[in-house]
Amino acid sequence: MRRTLIAAGAVGLLLAATACGGSATGASGGDDTLTIGIGVPAMPWNLAEAGSGPEAQYYQPVFDTLIRLSPEAEPTPNVATSWSYDESRTKLTLELRSGLTFTDGLPVDAEAVRANLMHTKSGTKTAATDLRAVSGVDVIDPDTAVVNLAAPDPALTTALGGVAGMLASPASLTAASGPVGSGPYALDRGATTDGQQYTYTRNPGYWNSSAFPFNKIVIKYISDATARTNALLAGQLDTSPLTAQRAQAAKDRGINVIDYDAGQIQGLFIWDRGGTVVPALGDPKVRQALNFAFDRAAISKTADLGYSAPTTQPFNTKSVAFDEALNSRYLYDPAKARQLLAEAGYPNGFEVTVPDFAGKYAEAQAAMVQSLTDIGITVHLDNMPSDQIFTAILAGKYPMSFFRLEATTPWRTIQLQMQEGSTWNPFRYHDPVLDRMVQEIQFAPDADTSPRYRELNNYVVDQAWNVPWTSVQNLYGISDKVSVTPQAFSLYPPIYQIQTATH
């Protein structure tokens, strides 16, 4: 007997009418144009190599998703109108909307779903990680697909509302000639300059066009936060992420700035927990010492300008795994840090090379270097282009670094960084005790797994897997021409939650 999770019905958010009932004037793009500023570069159009973070905005105009996430990040119908699990939670049946096509004319059907899920799963980036449990897809009929799982995945339906659930034409899975999807827009290659500006024009055959009021979307990659803010102030952008250092200036100039908890943890991330490159990092006492070295309240005040909350935990504050008591585990105590280093055999500290993030996070990096120096650790900054740092970290070049990493649902947080095959576990470290805890959560017969998640959180904090400092508020600037509904656990709001302003 199946347990039905959601039935087909009114699509609600998806069928919402446009706010003004007419055209919108977008920044620098003329009528009906939405111009978005973004601070991260585009990733490959091939979804097998796609990330699932803020770069998702590049994909959203072209690729529709099986499931759509509400502002609270709850799954709602989209291409899939309903879905249900079997009793073992290892078979997910998807009922698909009939009659949809990709812009090349091929049908959006169960065969296309199978081709996409298995192709995306074959990759190495976070979208592929989200599908790790998928073992295959059975095509029952054109409108019914059954996703088979090697083990239960508590976050799968949420993942299918993101990049992992996006659908490309089966004839263009590798996107060798550019992306081909079934989404509300198509990439205008003639008006696109790779690495700078991406232009999308309306797909006239899209099934839910009323949810997207703009005839054209332009996404501009501007890596420099000051330049991006200036473009917003000059009316060249309708939306843009802001840094804490630029938010007040934007407010003073009449820009509407929204701030919300997007589920992002900032701190010193220890990639080499096994001590492969820096042996000291393989000792829990050393990692605990690093946790005592940081004044989290001061970092929140100076580096984040108060747009954050101190934390010692890898899970976001709204997660069932979060335990307020753990935030007292590592109170600022540099003397204690030096004592632990000495006990571990490093009375004079050690040397470590980290990537230089000063271009984007100067204040946070300065706090990191000073705090480590204060306990005897010598930090060497390796300068490289900002668009190459992520690739270098994932390749295992750095044993630790300053970083910001999404912390959405507790299961997805585990998937992203705490399993041997996790994307953000570049040294493939694994802990048998933690592995057991993860399995207990995954196969738990009880509906409420909150105690199990909190037990795992306690263990990870005690073992000092990382050195979280703060849970960071997201800051997003918008012009008076648009309205934006923030998405829980998303740094950048999805394009379907950007509408014309209400008058």
Top pLDDT among 352 and 358 is at 352
What count of residues does the chain have? 503
End-to-end CA distance of the chain: 50
Compute the average pLDDT of residues 60-79.
96
Distance CA 107, CA 119 (A): 17
Q: Is 432 helix (H, G, I), strand (E, B) or coil?
A: helix
Compute the chain's Rg from CA coordinates.
23
Compute the average pLDDT of residues 449-461.
95
Closest CA to 243 of 308, 191, 333: 308
What six digits make up the tokens of 126? 């976070």
Q: What is the pLDDT of residue 274?
A: 96
Q: Tell me: pLDDT of 475 over 90.
A: yes
Compute the average pLDDT of residues 467-472.
96
What six digits make up the tokens of 204? 């006239």
Compute the average pLDDT of residues 453-457.
97
Q: What is the pLDDT of residue 446?
A: 67
Q: Tell me: pLDDT of 265 over 50.
A: yes
Going from the C-alpha of 431 to that of each of 386, 437, 465, the distances in angstroms are 31, 10, 10
DSSP 294-322: --HHHHHHHTSTTSEEE-S-SS-TTSTT-
Q: What is the pLDDT of residue 452?
A: 94
Q: Is 210 helix (H, G, I), strand (E, B) or coil?
A: helix
Q: How many CB atoms are located within 10 Å of the residue 194 CB?
A: 10
Q: What is the pLDDT of residue 20?
A: 34
Q: What is the pLDDT of residue 31?
A: 56
| Contact by Cβ (8 Å): 228, 222 | yes
Task: Using a pLDDT cut of 70, give the percent of the chain over it.
Answer: 93
Mean pLDDT of the chain: 91
Compute the average pLDDT of residues 343-349.
97
| Contact by Cβ (8 Å): 44, 168 | no
CATH architecture of structural domain 262-473 = Roll (3.10)
Fold of the domain spanning 3-241+479-500: D-Maltodextrin-Binding Protein; domain 2 (3.40.190)
Q: Tell me: pLDDT of 482 over 80.
A: yes
The per-residue pLDDT for range 82-139, each reduced to its tens digit, is 999 999 999 999 999 999 999 999 999 999 999 999 999 999 888 998 999 999 999 9
- Every domain of the chain and the residues it spans: 3-241+479-500, 262-473
Distance CA 52, CA 243 (A): 21
Helix (H) or strand (E) holding 241: strand 239-241
pTM attached to this predicted model: 0.80
Q: What is the pLDDT of residue 54?
A: 83
The per-residue pLDDT for range 166-197, each reduced to its tens digit, is 999 999 999 999 999 999 999 999 999 999 99
For residues 187, 193, 195, 198, the Cα torsion angle rounded to the nearest 10 degrees is: -30
Distance CA 59, CA 182 (A): 11
- Computed from CA positions of residues 77, 78, 82, 86, in that sequence, does the dihedral angle turn out positive or negative? negative
Q: What is the pLDDT of residue 170?
A: 98
Distance CA 114, CA 444 (A): 28
Q: Tell me: pLDDT of 302 over 60.
A: yes
Please enumerate in sequence order all residues whose Cβ is within 8 A of that of 225, keeping only pairs 6 or more positions apart, or say none: 39, 242, 243, 245, 246, 360
Span of 15-29, 144-158, 226-240, 278-292 with lowest mean pLDDT? 15-29
H runs (alpha helix) in 186-275 = 225-233, 244-252
Q: What is the pLDDT of residue 241?
A: 93
Q: What are the residues facing 148 on neighbouring strands?
A: 91, 136
Q: What is the pLDDT of residue 52?
A: 80
Please enumerate in sequence order all residues whose Cβ is within 8 A of that of 11, keeping only pairs 6 or more positions apart, or say none: 76, 77, 78, 208
Task: Using a pLDDT cut of 90, give the percent of the chain over it.
Answer: 79
Query: What band does 13 get if pLDDT is binned at 50, 70 and 90?
Result: very low
Distance CA 323, CA 468 (A): 14
Closest CA to 466 of 321, 302, 272, 295: 272
Top pLDDT among 444 and 160 is at 160
Closest CA to 428 of 267, 270, 269, 271: 271
Q: Tell me: pLDDT of 141 over 50.
A: yes
Q: What is the pLDDT of residue 12?
A: 34
Q: What is the pLDDT of residue 5?
A: 42
Q: Tell me: pLDDT of 307 over 90.
A: yes
Compute the average pLDDT of residues 335-357.
97
Distance CA 72, CA 67 (A): 14
What six digits make up the tokens of 158? 């949420």
Residue indicated by tokens 């759509």: 68
Query: What band does 272 get if pLDDT is binned at 50, 70 and 90?
Result: very high
What six digits make up the tokens of 381? 């900054």
